[in-house]
Structure formats: structure tokens, C-alpha cells
Amino acid sequence: MAEHGSNLLPVFFGDIAAGGWPGQFNADFTTMLALSALWCGWRGNWTPMALGHALLAFVGGGVVLMATLLVLHIRHHGDMRKVLLGKKN
């Protein structure tokens, strides 16, 4: 905040456009957030609850993704096929 102010998006995407290491990290992190959100939505068959979970996964990042995986791992007794695919399995 002291260096860039409260306007994060131009700095975040400016780093990506510059093509340096900070931009690479930002691009990788955004990709991880998008993939985890897509997986949460897909696994829940894109119901309104799944869309909410996907949004929460995108905004909450790794904390939400790891909590989701832990709960599913416990619920499905370690069966990773059920954890990752849900009812599609």
C-alpha cells in the first residue's frame, strides 16, 4: 500500500505485461486460481452452490482449495477418484 497505493490491478497486470519474474508469478498465481475455480464449478455440476464455491475458490486461493480437498478426502475415505471427479466417476 505504501509503495503502490490501493490500486492493485494496474500494478498486478502491469507486471505481467512487463514479462519479468514478478509478472510470471502473477500469471502463474492467476492461472492456479482460475483452474481451482473451474474445477470446483465443474465438480459441482455448475449448480448455484458450485458457482459460489468456484467464486470463493478464486478469491480465497489455496486456503479454500486445500480445505475443500481435505474435507473431500475425509468424506470419501481417501478415494482420490471420488475426491477429484465427484459423481462423474
Does residue 89 register a pLDDT over 70?
no
4-19 residue pLDDT tens: 677 888 888 999 999 9
Contacts of 88 (CB under 8 A, 6+ apart): 43
- Rounded Cα–Cα distance for residues 15 and 61 (Å): 20
28-86 residue pLDDT tens: 999 999 999 999 999 999 999 999 999 999 999 999 999 999 999 999 999 999 999 98
